């Protein structure tokens, strides 16, 4: 009989199955009297296509949704995308510059926004189709976008509400400014990186006495143009005589006071005197407020210097730095320069160096809100997996400043605030009608309603209708924080919101715990009075084999869909200068193999290293293989082969045999199924995806395929008929269970085999097989009887089989496929061997022997090989198997060869000059070889003794 069936080809089935699920409405539920299980997707940004990290994140969610769907919950996995303000606008602006050499100002607000909407439509479509290709069973009828009408209304509702509660305010603050993006950023959007810089020591002459001066040190010399004081410590004797005096700011010749500020000046650091630039440094800013200093901003929003910089106006900040240093040096005011390493903040999107920048921005007062989030975690309303991640959450709550929510870009939710241009004549508007600046003291007006078309068309004070809307948009996270509520219909009290909120679990990566997770908890508690989710599952990050984060721009990432469907792609590797291009070819692994590969590595709290091999072809392109996906593909193929070759072929005339089987292996199968169902259920429930893969692999491959299927084959072929009936029934019954258990991870192959198996399952009288597998009920472990005695006997039988196969492989003279004339199993205790009798027939075939004899208390026959399992001995008589004379000679030759090799190594190891000079790992290698050879010689001698 031939077990081989045509290999599994995922491309033949996956797309058709997905379409069927979609058509049948299998992803959609409406509120009813079942228990809900809901996940809202972390909305992918519409900046580009999905990467391998998304494949991990979304597969986990799909596994959970499919598992709970099968368990009878009313499930909703709500999909959608995020407009990702700064990120998306900058991608589109970059494209605009590359292709048309235009800036956003050439296009104007409306045209740019229209372009970004087109970009969004294109990428949203692409992202959603990628999710479908991965098998994600999202409820596409409920797909949302952070800027669609309903979600925009939720944003307005919260903004207006917080504004009316005085929890949103506008103020002049020193904020983080990205000169590339020309917008404010919140603290959470910065990345700190070490930088090599300098300390410049500059001399400020004292007014009226050019013989005296104060020396200050700075890492940013150009900011001296905005200095409004020099601060010293009140107890610093070096400067006591200068208290109350003034110094002349070099280059601009401006007179500035010497002040005492014990918080800013540290007598032990540098010269003890510091320059104070309140408009360009956070510490100086506080000092400026304490001492009522002038705030002089010297920067334009694009990083060039403004009119306050005198002769340096118009220069870029780095050019200005060079010129300032040169000019100081020529005037002999530069005392010295020291190298200095420090941490510097960069924009998390464009990596430009962030400038502290004084401007009018909108802020959310955080103190009252963080308390709500803290309580939720402290009271275990929201539980983190792994638990340790809750610390990151709480730490952020403790330290977060007020949240700067205004962004000086166009793509996003425009701030729902209007100003009267008559009451505020300082509002600057250019000829195009663009608002250039809103003075800090302009009075904000909010609309009465949160409807997205509502505006303030008339000034309540002067009755004029000349009002303008604030030009800024809100931080992306302002809308993302509402995602679990707004996608379900809030602020309306919809049936969905009442039924599905709070959701069950948020599956996300650790880098947005503060940016996103904490804020969702805050607003959920504030506006609904309930947490947004019960669990937060923080999964690891996907890394390459060297531990680097994967991304296409680094040249070590890949498009997950290319791995599913196969194909080729040109990769640009930016790690090289100039960037290297290479062509890569991918084979089609199919979605199931990729899902299994990624899930088999997803252990709680751990990053995931993917080993990728790139083999160069003759034409300098590369074949790319991912080891884990390869394993997934191999596993799919095994499932496919066993299902077809053994079960679908051999069990065509399966019959319903209801009563309990008297066959040992059948009872054992039920025993492992009962445990298997429990283990899988527990692993899925506890987010242990890698364990679920391990359990299933062991259950299906090691236990079912490598043992049960092999042991029952004689019953299928030779009968008796009743025995074959039971075997067929159990094979079909077990496969039904296996398909259910693995469906959440490998949905396609399981659904396809389920369809093929259904007629046989019906013939066997099995229940709950009517629907598609996606809607089939999760198996009940209680339907199978656990039987520890049977498990014990089976373990012994398997150990005996393994021992026999070991002996065979140690005696290469026997030959791999030669049938052993006889195997004897014996023990002094008949209790040990009698229960094995039912396994004899299966075992005989399994270990390839004509006969297994069970004897009590037998002595080892002459010229036989032997093995031991517990108190059982196994003898394999070798007469007739081996030509003893020839084997003696062969063994003797091998022994002398091995001994010669050993001699050489021993000589090396006793040579002092080798031991002294050779690297440690070479010596270690020799020692390992020595041990190996010694054990080989021992084995060979034993075998020789045996036949002498
Ligand atoms: Zn930037
Ligand atoms: Zn007015």
Its CATH class, for the domain covering 31-148+370-400+479-539, is alpha beta
Separation of CA 154 and ligand 2 centre (Å): 28
- Ligand lying nearest the CA atom of residue 355: 1
Q: Which residues of 901-913 are buried (b: 16+ CB within 10 A; e: fewer)?
A: bbeebeebeeeee
Separation of CA 860 and ligand 1 centre (Å): 81
> Is 790-882 in CATH node 3.40.50?
no
Separation of CA 490 and ligand 2 centre (Å): 34
Contact 508, 516 (CB under 8 A): yes
Contact 280, 298 (CB under 8 A): yes
- Ligand lying nearest the CA atom of residue 346: 1
Mean pLDDT of 42-65: 94
The domain at 885-947 falls in which architecture? Orthogonal Bundle (1.10)
Task: Name residue, tokens 């996956």.
Answer: 14
Higher pLDDT, 557 or 565: 565
The predicted-structure confidence for 449-496, as pLDDT tens digits, reads as follows 888 889 999 999 999 998 999 999 999 999 999 999 999 999 999 999
3-state secondary structure of 9: coil
Going by pLDDT thresholds of 50, 70 and 90, the confidence category of residue 606 is confident
Where helices occur in 350-437 by DSSP H, the ranges are: 367-378, 389-399
Mean pLDDT of 701-729: 91
Separation of CA 463 and ligand 2 centre (Å): 6
3-state secondary structure of 844: helix
Q: Specify the pLDDT at position 1.
A: 39
Contact 636, 593 (CB under 8 A): yes
Q: Determine whether 567 is exposed, middle or buried from the number of CB atoms within 10 Å of its CB (0-12, 13-18, 19+).
A: middle
| Cα(579)–Cα(573) distance, integer angstroms | 5
pLDDT at 340 over 50: yes
Q: Percent of the chain having pLDDT more than 90?
A: 56
Residue ranges of the chain assigned to CATH 3.40.50.620: 31-148+370-400+479-539
Going by pLDDT thresholds of 50, 70 and 90, the confidence category of residue 280 is very high
Contact 308, 226 (CB under 8 A): yes
Separation of CA 6 and ligand 1 centre (Å): 54
| Cα(597)–Cα(610) distance, integer angstroms | 9
φ, ψ (nearest 5 deg) of residue 764: -80, -5
Nearest to 626 by CA among 579, 556, 576, 678: 556
Mean pLDDT of 714-740: 92
pLDDT at 554 over 80: no
Separation of CA 470 and ligand 2 centre (Å): 15
Q: Which residues of 467-481 are buried (b: 16+ CB within 10 A; e: fewer)?
A: bbebbbbbbbbbbbb
Separation of CA 447 and ligand 2 centre (Å): 15
Residue ranges of the chain assigned to CATH 3.90.740.10: 183-355
* CA angle, residues 243, 248, 252, in degrees to nearest 5: 150
Separation of CA 90 and ligand 1 centre (Å): 8
Separation of CA 459 and ligand 2 centre (Å): 5
Separation of CA 351 and ligand 1 centre (Å): 6
Q: Which residues are in the CB-under-5-Å shell of ion ligand 1?
A: 178, 180-181, 347, 349-350
- Ligand lying nearest the CA atom of residue 190: 1
Candidate from 163-177, 486-500, 736-750 with smallest mean pLDDT: 163-177
Q: Determine whether 845 is exposed, middle or buried from the number of CB atoms within 10 Å of its CB (0-12, 13-18, 19+).
A: middle
Is the dihedral angle over the CA atoms 512, 517, 523, 524 positive or is it negative? positive
Do you find a cis peptide bond into 578, omega within 30 degrees of 0? Answer: yes
| Cα(388)–Cα(604) distance, integer angstroms | 11
Separation of CA 347 and ligand 1 centre (Å): 5
Separation of CA 882 and ligand 1 centre (Å): 78
Q: Specify the pLDDT at position 63.
A: 98
Q: Specify the pLDDT at position 133.
A: 96
Do you find a cis peptide bond into 502, omega within 30 degrees of 0? Answer: yes
The predicted-structure confidence for 350-378, as pLDDT tens digits, reads as follows 788 999 998 889 999 999 999 998 888 88
Separation of CA 406 and ligand 1 centre (Å): 15
pLDDT at 5 over 70: no
Nearest to 610 by CA among 630, 592, 590, 591: 630
- Ligand lying nearest the CA atom of residue 461: 2
Q: Specify the pLDDT at position 927.
A: 87
Residue ranges of the chain assigned to CATH 1.10.287: 885-947
The predicted-structure confidence for 796-838, as pLDDT tens digits, reads as follows 889 888 888 887 877 766 777 788 888 888 887 777 788 888 8
Going by pLDDT thresholds of 50, 70 and 90, the confidence category of residue 677 is very high
Q: Which residues of 856-884 are buried (b: 16+ CB within 10 A; e: fewer)?
A: eeeeeeeebbebebeebbbbbbbeebbee
- Ligand lying nearest the CA atom of residue 457: 2
Q: Binding site annotation covers 552?
A: yes
Q: Specify the pLDDT at position 362.
A: 95
Contact 774, 21 (CB under 8 A): yes
Q: Specify the pLDDT at position 759.
A: 94
Q: Specify the pLDDT at position 499.
A: 97
| Cα(121)–Cα(118) distance, integer angstroms | 5
The predicted-structure confidence for 35-51, as pLDDT tens digits, reads as follows 999 999 999 999 888 88
The domain at 183-355 falls in which architecture? Alpha-Beta Complex (3.90)
- Ligand lying nearest the CA atom of residue 418: 2
């Amino acid at each position: 009989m031939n077990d081989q069936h045509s290999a599994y080809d995922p491309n033949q089935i996956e797309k058709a199955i997905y379409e069927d699920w979609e058509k049948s409405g299998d992803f959609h539920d409406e509120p009813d009297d079942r228990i809900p299980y809901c996940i809202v997707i972390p909305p992918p940004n519409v900046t580009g296509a999905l990467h391998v990290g998304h494949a991990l994140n979304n597969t986990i969610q799909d596994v959970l949704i499919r598992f709970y769907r099968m368990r009878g919950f009313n499930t909703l996995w709500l999909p959608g995308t995020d407009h990702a303000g700064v990120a998306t606008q900058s991608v589109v602006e970059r494209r605009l510059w590359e292709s048309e050499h235009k800036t956003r100002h050439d296009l104007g607000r409306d045209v740019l926004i229209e372009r970004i909407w087109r970009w969004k439509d294109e990428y949203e479509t692409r992202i959603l189709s990628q999710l479908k290709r991965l098998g994600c069973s999202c409820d596409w009828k409920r797909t949302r976008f952070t800027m669609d009408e309903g979600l925009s209304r939720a944003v307005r509702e919260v903004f207006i509400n917080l504004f009316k509660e005085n929890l949103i305010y506008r103020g002049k603050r020193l904020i983080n400014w990205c000169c590339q993006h020309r917008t404010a950023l919140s603290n959470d959007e910065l990345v700190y990186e070490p930088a090599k810089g300098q300390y410049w020591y500059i001399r400020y002459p004292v007014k009226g006495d050019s013989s005296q001066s104060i020396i200050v040190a700075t890492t940013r010399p150009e900011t001296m143009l905005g200095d409004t004081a020099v601060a010293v410590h009140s107890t610093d004797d070096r400067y006591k005589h200068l208290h109350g005096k003034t110094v002349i700011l070099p280059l601009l010749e401006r007179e500035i006071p010497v002040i005492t500020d014990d918080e800013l000046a540290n007598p032990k650091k540098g010269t003890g005197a510091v320059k104070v630039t309140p408009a360009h440094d956070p510490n100086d800013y506080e000092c400026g407020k304490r001492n009522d200093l002038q705030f002089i901003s010297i920067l334009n929003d694009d990083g060039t210097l403004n009119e306050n910089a005198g002769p340096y106006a118009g220069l870029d900040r780095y050019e200005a730095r060079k010129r300032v240093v040169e000019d100081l040096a020529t005037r002999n005011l530069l005392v010295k320069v020291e190298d200095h390493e420090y941490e510097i903040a960069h924009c998390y999107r464009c990596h430009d160096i962030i400038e502290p920048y004084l401007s009018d921005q909108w802020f959310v007062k955080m103190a009252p809100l963080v308390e709500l989030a803290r309580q939720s975690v402290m009271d275990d309303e929201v539980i983190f997996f792994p638990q340790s991640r809750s610390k990151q959450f709480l730490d952020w709550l403790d330290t977060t400043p007020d949240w700067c929510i205004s962004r000086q870009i166009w793509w996003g939710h425009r701030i729902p605030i209007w100003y009267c241009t008559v009451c505020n004549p300082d509002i600057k508007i250019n000829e195009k009608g663009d608002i250039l600046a809103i003075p800090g003291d302009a009075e904000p007006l909010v609309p009465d309603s949160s409807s997205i078309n509502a505006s303030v068309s008339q000034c309540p004070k002067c009755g004029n209708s000349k009002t303008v809307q604030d030009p800024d948009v809100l931080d992306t996270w302002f809308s993302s924080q509402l995602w679990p509520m707004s996608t379900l219909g809030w602020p309306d009290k919809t049936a969905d919101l009442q039924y599905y909120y709070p959701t069950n679990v948020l599956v996300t990566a650790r880098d947005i715990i503060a940016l996103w997770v904490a804020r969702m908890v805050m607003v959920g508690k504030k506006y609904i009075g309930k947490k947004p989710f019960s669990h937060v599952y923080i999964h690891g990050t996907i890394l390459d084999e060297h531990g680097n984060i994967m991304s296409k721009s680094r040249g070590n990432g890949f498009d997950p869909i290319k791995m599913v469907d196969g194909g080729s792609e040109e990769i640009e590797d930016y790690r090289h200068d100039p960037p290297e291009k290479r062509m890569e070819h991918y084979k089609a692994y199919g979605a199931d193999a990729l899902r299994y590969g990624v899930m088999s590595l997803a252990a709680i709290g751990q990053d995931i290293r993917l080993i990728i091999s790139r083999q160069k072809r003759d034409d300098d392109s590369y074949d790319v293989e991912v080891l884990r996906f390869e394993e997934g593909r191999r596993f799919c193929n095994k499932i496919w082969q066993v299902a077809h070759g053994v079960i679908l072929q051999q069990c065509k005339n399966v019959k319903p045999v209801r009563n309990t089987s008297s066959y040992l292996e059948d009872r054992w199968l039920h025993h492992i199924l009962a445990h298997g169902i429990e283990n899988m259920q527990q692993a899925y429930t506890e987010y242990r995806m890698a364990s679920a893969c391990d359990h299933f692999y062991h259950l299906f491959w090691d236990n079912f395929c490598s043992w049960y299927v092999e042991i029952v084959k004689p019953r299928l072929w030779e009968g008796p008929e009743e025995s074959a009936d039971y075997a067929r029934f159990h094979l079909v019954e077990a496969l039904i269970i296996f398909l259910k258990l693995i469906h959440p991870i490998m949905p396609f192959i399981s659904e396809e085999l389920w369809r093929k198996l259904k007629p046989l399952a019906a013939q066997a009288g099995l229940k709950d097989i009517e629907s598609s597998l996606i809607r089939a009920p999760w198996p009940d472990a209680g339907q199978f009887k656990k039987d520890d005695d049977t498990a014990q006997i089976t373990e012994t039988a398997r150990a005996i089989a393994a021992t026999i196969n070991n002996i065979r492989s140690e005696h290469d003279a026997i030959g791999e496929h030669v049938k052993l004339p006889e195997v004897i199993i014996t023990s002094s205790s008949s209790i040990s061997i009698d229960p094995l009798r039912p396994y004899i027939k299966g075992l005989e075939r399994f270990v390839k022997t004509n006969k297994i004899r069970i004897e009590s208390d037998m002595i080892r026959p002459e010229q036989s090989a032997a093995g031991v399992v517990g108190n059982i001995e196994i003898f394999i008589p070798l007469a007739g198997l081996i030509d003893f004379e020839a084997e003696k000679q062969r063994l003797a030759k091998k022994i002398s060869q091995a001994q010669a090799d050993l001699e050489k190594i021993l000589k090396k190891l006793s040579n002092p000059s080798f031991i002294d000079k050779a690297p440690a790992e070479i010596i270690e290698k020799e020692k390992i070889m020595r041990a190996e050879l010694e054990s080989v010689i021992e084995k060979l001698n034993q075998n020789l003794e045996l036949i002498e």
